[in-house]
Amino acid sequence: MIIIAGAGIAGLTLGLTCHQLGLPFKIFEKAVKIKPLGVGINIQPTATRELTALNLSEGLETIGVKTRELSFFTKTGLEIWSEPRGLDAGYFYPQFSVHRGYLQNLLYNALIERCGEEVVQLGYSVTHCVTTQEKVIVSLLDSSGKKNDIEGSICIGADGINSDLRKQLYPEEGPPSWKGITLWRGTSITKPFRSGATMAMIGHASQRIVAYPISLPDHYGNVVMNWICERKLKPSKTSNKTDWNKSVDFNKFLPFFENWSYDWFNFPEMVQNSKEVLEYPMVDRDPVDNWQDERMLLIADAAHPAYPTGSNGATQAILDARELGRALTEFGQNPKALTKFQQQTMESSNQIVLANRKSGPDAILQIVEDRCEGIFENLHDVISHDELSSHSTKFKSLIGLSIDKFNEQTSILGEYL
């Protein structure tokens, strides 16, 4: 039996993959109930293709928006660069903007429907793993404080950036790395802008806004707009605690954005119409050169947590689960499969972590800010079309979104299904 720590996007996708491949598994999740927590995320075409292979495309259609455009603007609202996304760009699969909690529920409900409730054990933390030549012995702690051990063939740590299994591999690592950038996030009911399914990036490296719809228009033409703003602050000893559900008053940050209103987008009004604002630090971890301890393996945010600047975190979690499924099919439930997964994915995953530290595709915002402080009459006096295009193409190549190459490929597990 494959033991999976964590029922987030990576763990649930791995569970669905194991079921699809006929591999026995069980997921242990410390939360006592799966709730639709979080706000908006993006699923890139590479991941949409894998979810389609898991027969989840209809579900995605009901909970997400097919993103049509990605646009970058200066802090004064001047357009720098826009490009089509997903189907509009010619990919064979769409990019989806979706509420993270709704995606998690989609995966969870599909898994329970296909396998039964017993495959996901809620209220259990995986605290430790001992690996032997033939098996793993996994220590569990339930919500009442009771300890128990179970045995399996392998153990997969999909338990996030604060993974207990990662602490086992790197006991001296400490908390996630924070460089002073704080995020505030929320949703508002409002009219969409531009294409109606546009993701907008506004500002520069030390102060930035991201906004995109995560629902289809209602009968009034309104959508649920996901918004994020960030600002670089002076790091303190306590600000880097990774509390993803800390609610704050918008007056804590909105004065810094009070003039960020344009004829196509009114950010202060949007924030004021939000029911709740969440605050947390933008953190990651330094890339490491090993995710494996014999029959135990880290994946997704437990292995390579990155800044959320490339709209790629959930996508990487889904791709990890599918790549691991392929390795398990080829080599069986043993250390060789885990080693193969690591060899196949580590270099590119660690490169994404480092690229996102440099703002990923959003770095173009700071380049323009440095050259003209975000104010220009003719953009091409500041930056050429070739430079803008090259910057976009480079990051898409890194995350597997070179369009011609992508469209030539099938699902990661296509030859086994």
pLDDT of residue 112: 97
| Mean pLDDT on 22-38 | 90
155 CA to centre of own chain: 22
| Mean pLDDT on 387-406 | 88
In sequence order, what are the residues at sequence separation of 6 or more whose Cβ sits closer than 8 angstroms to the Cβ of residue 235? 178, 179, 180
pLDDT of residue 391: 84
359 CA to centre of own chain: 15
Structure tokens at 60: 């995605």
Tens digit of each residue's pLDDT (9 = 90 or more) over 70-112: 999 999 999 999 999 999 999 999 999 999 999 999 999 999 9
Mean pLDDT of the chain: 93
Whole-prediction pTM value? Answer: 0.95
Confidence label for 235 from pLDDT (cuts 50, 70 and 90): low
In sequence order, what are the residues at sequence separation of 6 or more whose Cβ sits closer than 8 angstroms to the Cβ of residue 37? 100, 101, 104, 244, 245
Confidence label for 238 from pLDDT (cuts 50, 70 and 90): very low
Higher pLDDT among residues 360 and 284, named by residue = 284
Q: Which of 148, 77, 182, 82 is nearest to 392 (CA)?
A: 82
Confidence label for 312 from pLDDT (cuts 50, 70 and 90): confident
Q: How far is CA 27 from CA 23, 58, 98, 177, 284, in A?
A: 13, 25, 24, 28, 25
Helix, strand or coil, per DSSP, at residue 176: coil
Neighbour-count burial of 397, counting CB atoms closer than 10 A to its CB (0-12 exposed, 13-18 middle, 19+ buried): exposed
Confidence label for 173 from pLDDT (cuts 50, 70 and 90): very high
